[in-house]
């Protein structure tokens, strides 16, 4: 199959061509006309989606492409049923683009796997195998599986996952390129790895459950971010924690009215078994805190409330550490990944009261009630230091879109990988 050539030019679209998008054609291929303005990343993404719908096979980029323009095209060109590849312009950016694509493809393909393919143990195994392939001598792996979780006190992951025949897992990857076993952990990453979310006894509707294979998008995102940082040569000690479980219904599943007691003594009443992501992340955040990491970043496809607030084009960002939040938002803007801050204060810890425990895991209202995304973040803040210093929570509203969009393919999007990697390497 031949490779189609796509050229980029700052010239205007010829006046005699009537087209909704600035694409012209000749015997050599297609040309995208962006005019003499800025990077025009959105226009390039729109053109990539149009070309993908028309072409079969690979595309070779030619002309004067900026790295961000090449990435905007490549991220938008393709789909879950396609093996089409984009061949980069040969210049100083080629190696960086290839590494970026590897990380993106890892996360995208992991998110797009079926629930039957991706069990908690499979998610843990695939993530650790990929990181260890990138850092075979500097990455150490540890797991707690099934009953081992309860014995070690990782009660949230255990309770959420015990209803499934396929056991839950807490994965720890210790990436330490320093050669010093006593080196401090500079950053810890925590990812929600719910490989399928039925909602448990607070069961989802059929349409609400259809795409819950994507509920491990946080785990895929933070793993891909660490992998990209490794490929970029990062020399910091980083720990990665993936909180992996299936949230299913059985005679052994956790129930509404149950109370979970966490390692830090916090008691949590279950008022909604579909608010399970925060229950597993609590364990990951405590493990990250125990590591002594100066910065903790968690990522999760956590709430529908975040989607309602910022749509599927942005990820929502929460932190009581204003400096850290602003640094992250600036870095995300630098790499052209859309993120937006939502409110989080110490008062949000008490937005889900319980008469039987320190807190409930949600509010007994549809979607967790008003401010559901901030309330979920407030719940998580109970499991890091009291001031929230050095902790950043990302609600991945943009991590997955079944129907795609005018600029993004169907399925996993990988949005968030570059921003987290930029924070790691800063």
Q: Which residues are catalytic?
A: 204, 278
27: CB partners within 8 A, 6+ apart: none
CA 49, 50, 55, 60: dihedral to nearest 10 degrees? -60
End-to-end CA distance of the chain: 42
Q: Are 285 and 154 in contact (CB under 8 A)?
A: no
Report the candidate in 284, 340, 342, 289 with the shortest Cα–Cα distance to residue 313.
340
42: CB partners within 8 A, 6+ apart: 72, 407
In a 10 Å sphere around its CB, with 0-12 CB exposed, 13-18 middle and 19+ buried, how is residue 264 labelled?
middle
């Amino acid at each position: 199959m031949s490779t189609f050539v796509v050229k980029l030019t700052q010239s205007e679209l010829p006046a005699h061509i009537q087209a909704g998008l600035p694409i012209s054609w000749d015997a050599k291929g297609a040309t995208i006309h962006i005019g003499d303005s800025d990077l025009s990343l959105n226009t390039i993404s729109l053109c990539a989606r149009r070309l993908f719908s028309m072409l079969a096979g690979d595309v070779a980029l030619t002309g004067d492409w900026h790295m961000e323009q090449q990435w905007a095209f490549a991220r938008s060109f393709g789909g879950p049923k396609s093996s089409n590849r984009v061949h980069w312009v040969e210049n100083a950016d080629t190696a960086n683009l290839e590494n970026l694509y590897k990380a993106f493809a890892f996360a995208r393909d992991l998110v797009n796997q079926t629930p039957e393919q991706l069990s908690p143990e499979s998610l843990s195994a695939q993530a650790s195998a990929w990181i260890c392939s990138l850092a075979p001598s500097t990455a150490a792996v540890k797991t707690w599986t099934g009953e081992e979780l309860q014995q070690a006190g990782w009660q949230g992951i255990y309770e959420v996952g015990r209803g499934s025949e396929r056991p839950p897992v807490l994965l720890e990857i210790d990436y330490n390129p320093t050669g010093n076993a006593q080196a401090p952990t500079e950053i810890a990453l925590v990812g929600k790895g719910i490989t399928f979310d039925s909602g448990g006894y607070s069961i989802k509707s059929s349409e609400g459950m259809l795409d819950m294979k994507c509920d491990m998008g946080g785990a895929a995102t933070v793993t891909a971010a660490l992998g990209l940082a490794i490929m970029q040569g990062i020399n910091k000690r980083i720990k990665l924690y993936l909180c992996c479980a299936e949230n299913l219904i059985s005679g052994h599943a956790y129930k509404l009215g149950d109370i979970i007691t966490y390692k830090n003594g916090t008691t949590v009443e279950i008022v909604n078994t579909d608010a399970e992501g925060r229950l597993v992340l609590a364990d990951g955040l405590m493990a990250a805190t125990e590591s002594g990491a100066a910065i903790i970043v968690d990522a999760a496809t956590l709430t529908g409330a975040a989607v309602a607030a910022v749509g599927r084009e942005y990820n929502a960002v929460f932190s009581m550490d204003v400096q850290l939040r602003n640094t992250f938002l600036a870095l995300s803007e630098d790499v052209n990944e859309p993120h937006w801050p939502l409110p989080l204060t110490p008062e949000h810890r008490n937005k889900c009261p319980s008469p039987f425990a320190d807190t409930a895991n949600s509010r007994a209202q549809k979607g967790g009630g008003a401010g559901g995304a901030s309330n979920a973040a407030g719940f998580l803040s109970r499991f890091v230091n009291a001031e929230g210093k050095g902790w950043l929570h990302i609600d991945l509203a943009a991590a997955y879109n079944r129907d795609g969009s005018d600029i993004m393919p169907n399925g996993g999007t990988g949005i968030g990988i570059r921003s987290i990697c930029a924070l790691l390497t800063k």
